[in-house]
Amino acid sequence: MLPEYGGLNATFALARALVRRGHRVRYFVPEAFEAHVTRQGFESTRYTERLAVSPSWATRVPGVRFLHLRARYNEHLAAAFNAWVDADALDGVLVDPVVWNVAAGALERRLPYLSLNPTYSAPFSLDYPSVHSSAIPPRGGASARARNLVAWTFQARIPWHRSLYDRAIGWAGHGAFRRAGRRLRWGDFGYRPDVPELVIGPRALDFEPLRDLPHRHYLGTSVEPSRHDGTFDWSGYDASRPLAYCSLGTFGDDQVPALRFFTAVIESFRQREGWQLIMSCGALAEQLRSKALPPSIRVEASVPQLEVLPRARLFLNHAGIGSVREAMYFGVPMLLFPFGADQPGLTARLVHHQLGLRGDIRTKDARVITERVDALLGRDDITAAMEAMKQRCRNSRELEEGVDVIERHLA
């Protein structure tokens, strides 16, 4: 998986389900995430993220430098992955399709290989837009296909550059797939393997044209409430007053508009009588605490989200897939402020299914935040739709059906 908590956390429910059926599960993770995996009770093999790259013309040319360092880093990961596969007696691998080429060596070793997709990315098709796009698929016809083509075209530049460079230096894993009789297709993040795929998310959230793609299976919300993320100090919390929760995810504090956005949210809830607010702000927490906050507003560097969400009345977030899954599991309506990657596409799905409203991450005016919160609280249809989605997710057998898919391929 990519080294981020949202995608990694979503795999624990699947791993637990596999263990219940008698399988051994082992993670291949960077050093920084090893302790988190171990806390959940799983085995892991760690790899180092540190890499020394020799200076060359490619490290000095703007634009090429990033592509070169990325390719060298992926080569480093591929070598570590192959060493791990050779050392452990593995029966198969589940691989994030974004890092498919890192794990291409599994195919050369004839191991069963499935994609474990932490979001709703998919192969290119004119039947639906890219997950990077905020577009909602129009219904059928030539005009709909033309709009989807435009949506894909606008999002293709960065993955096209990366994939072209990877192929130019000749290591990108294409040969391993070809020799194994597998093929690659173009998708949201560049090339992706054309293999059976498990999407970590409920089928009900996806756009209709994607739900019945061949070999595409869904794992439900995959939320494990017993996940060990630490505990929260609830002193000062008043259970009789409504609670709002705000977070921009693992890397939200790195975004340019984050400080202005968090400040606007604080000022909005400072004026919202009777409400309480908990914010998870990463490295920005100390700076935001200097604003003489009232007792009703808590600003923390990190928050155990699964402990806070069950008490929240609404959730202001970046439409990161981990936050989206967990909000649906607990039935919390969302105010969404996407800033990139798959977040616009996830926001489009949530708005389409009436599970939340869209905002602008560049917002720096508390009045705009207040207006959007008022709009969300005034939408009884969103509250009802989210409660229905919660019940649907809780009653779903998608996770167990996903384990069935894995076992069929291991056999």
pLDDT for 163 beyond 70: no
Nearest to 73 by CA among 108, 132, 30: 30
Q: What pLDDT is stored for residue 172 in this prediction?
A: 60
Q: Higher confidence at residue 55 or residue 35?
A: 35
Percentage of the chain lying above the pLDDT 70 cut: 93
Q: Tell me which DSSP letter residue 53 carries.
A: -
Q: What pLDDT is stored for residue 258 in this prediction?
A: 87
Q: What pLDDT is stored for residue 299 in this prediction?
A: 93
Amino acid (1-letter code) at residue 32: A
Q: Which residues make Cβ contacts (< 8 Å) with residue 17, sequence separation at least 6?
A: 399, 400, 402, 403
Q: What pLDDT is stored for residue 380 in this prediction?
A: 94
Q: What pLDDT is stored for residue 338 in this prediction?
A: 92
pLDDT band at 311 (very low <50, low <70, confident <90, very high): very high
Mean pLDDT of all residues belonging to the chain: 88
Q: What pLDDT is stored for residue 158 in this prediction?
A: 58
Comparing 73-82, 313-322, 339-348, the range with the smallest average pLDDT is 73-82
Bridge partners (DSSP) of residue 191 are: 186
CA separation for the pair 68, 45 (Å, rounded): 26
**Residue given tokens 């639906």 in the structure block:** 128
Q: What pLDDT is stored for residue 161 in this prediction?
A: 62
Q: What pLDDT is stored for residue 68 in this prediction?
A: 74
pLDDT for 402 beyond 90: yes
Please tell me which of 58-62, 179-183, 188-192, 393-397 the model is most confident about, judged by mean pLDDT.
Answer: 393-397
* Backbone torsions φ then ψ of 118, nearest 5 degrees: -80, 0
Mean pLDDT of 114-134: 92
pLDDT for 319 beyond 80: yes
Q: Higher confidence at residue 143 or residue 399?
A: 399
Q: What pLDDT is stored for residue 314 in this prediction?
A: 95
Comparing 130-144, 198-212, 279-293, 382-396, the range with the smallest average pLDDT is 130-144
Q: What pLDDT is stored for residue 182 in this prediction?
A: 84
CA distances from 119 to 63, 107, 286, 323, 345 (A): 28, 23, 32, 12, 10
pLDDT (tens digit per residue) in 209-243: 899 899 999 999 999 888 888 889 999 899 999 99
Q: What pLDDT is stored for residue 382 in this prediction?
A: 95
pLDDT for 169 beyond 70: no
pLDDT for 387 beyond 70: yes
Q: What pLDDT is stored for residue 341 in this prediction?
A: 85
* Biggest alpha carbon–alpha carbon distance for the chain: 65
pLDDT (tens digit per residue) in 323-370: 999 999 999 999 999 988 889 999 999 999 999 999 988 888 899 999
Which pTM value belongs to this model? 0.88
CA distances from 310 to 237, 297, 326 (A): 14, 18, 10
Comparing 245-254, 300-309, 329-338, the range with the smallest average pLDDT is 245-254
**Continuous H helices in 29-88:** 31-39, 57-60, 64-87
Mean pLDDT of 57-65: 75
pLDDT band at 93 (very low <50, low <70, confident <90, very high): very high
pLDDT band at 56 (very low <50, low <70, confident <90, very high): confident
Q: Tell me which DSSP letter residue 186 carries.
A: E
pLDDT (tens digit per residue) in 12-49: 999 999 999 999 999 998 888 899 999 999 999 988 87
CA distances from 318 to 197, 325, 334 (A): 25, 12, 10
Contact 96, 116 (CB under 8 A): yes
pLDDT band at 170 (very low <50, low <70, confident <90, very high): low
